[in-house]
Amino acid sequence: DTEVTQTPKHLVMGMTNKKSLKCEQHMGHRAMYWYKQKAKKPPELMFVYSYEKLSINESVPSRFSPECPNSSLLNLHLHALQPEDSALYLCASSQDPYSNQPQHFGDGTRLSIL
Amino acid sequence: AQTVTQSQPEMSVQEAETVTLSCTYDTSESDYYLFWYKQPPSRQMILVIRQEAYKQQNATENRFSVNFQKAAKSFSLKISDSQLGDAAMYFCAVPTGNQFYFGTGTSLTVIP
């Protein structure tokens, strides 16, 4: 069983839609991450939240908007996405951002843009 | 930025045999950790094994073990008695600050 829960598991949306991806963890971790992953490629870091504050934004287009409402929740708001944004979106958490502790991953959301 | 290199895009192993996946990295850190993750078709990234760089002893977790050569910055993963469930993408990862740097991955096929 995964300790990081992501919903939905699959999402199909048009380029004009607005949707959100949700990630939740109850391990008391204070760092949370969003990654984008294409098939057979490593995860690409998008955003890092440290103690509920955005600490890294890896030059991600503004059509992706992260939000961390509290220490257990992480959202990724999507708007006006492009077909090339179709990918697996992974959420991860770690004990704290600088501890060299492993990251724990969710199952991901498979996103398809029509 | 860190560089993490996995030179074997694809590997195959006969069931019950042993296979070694290679990983080399570059870091300016003096004290760091190294990780191997497995990603089966079910998608979840699963931590396989962790090595602390300041420890001389190679990490072992059941059938999985590491050959860590600090001077050479090499961190290979050995899978013994391979099972069908070991078929997956394997990524090595090196954390720096609050980021993980992943290698390009090795796709492992297990042949029955």
pLDDT 10s digits, B20-64: 999 999 988 878 899 999 999 878 999 999 999 888 889 999 999
Average pLDDT estimate for A92-111: 89
Main-chain phi, psi angles of A8, to 5 degrees: -80, 170
Q: Which residue in chain B has the smallest CA separation from A4?
A: B44
Cα A107 from Cα B40, distance rounded (Å): 11
Those residues whose C-beta lies under 8 Å from the C-beta of residue A51, and which sit 6 or more positions away, are A30, A31, A71, A96, A97
Those residues whose C-beta lies under 8 Å from the C-beta of residue A112, and which sit 6 or more positions away, are A10, A11, A12, A13, A86
Of B81, B79, B77, residue with least CA distance to B67:
B77
Find the CB nearest A98 among B98, B104, B107.
Answer: B98
Main-chain phi, psi angles of B12, to 5 degrees: -135, 150
Find the CB nearest A102 among B35, B99, B103.
Answer: B35
CB B48 within 8 A of CB B37: yes
CB B91 within 8 A of CB B108: no
Main-chain phi, psi angles of A61, to 5 degrees: -55, 150
Main-chain phi, psi angles of A12, to 5 degrees: -115, 130
Q: Identify any residues that bridge with A75 across adjacent strands, giving them in sequence order.
A: A22, A67
Average pLDDT estimate for B63-71: 95
Main-chain phi, psi angles of A108, to 5 degrees: 90, 160
Cα B39 from Cα B24, distance rounded (Å): 19
Cα B52 from Cα B48, distance rounded (Å): 14
Cα B43 from Cα B56, distance rounded (Å): 33
| Confidence bin at A2 (pLDDT 50/70/90) | low
| Confidence bin at B1 (pLDDT 50/70/90) | low
Percent of chain B with pLDDT over 70: 99
Main-chain phi, psi angles of B77, to 5 degrees: -110, 125
Supply the pLDDT for residue A98: 73
Q: Which residue in chain A has the smallest CA separation from B4?
A: A42
Residue A62 distance to chain B (closest CA, Å): 21
Q: How many CB pairs under 8 A join A and B?
A: 51
Main-chain phi, psi angles of B46, to 5 degrees: -115, 130
Provide the token pair at A109: 């959301």
Any chain B CB within 8 A of the CB of A81? no
Are A50 and B35 within 8 A, CB to CB?
A: no
Supply the pLDDT for residue A99: 67
Cα A92 from Cα A109, distance rounded (Å): 12
Q: Which residues of A touch B44 (CB under 8 A)?
A: 2, 105-108
Q: Which residues of A touch B50 (CB under 8 A)?
A: 102
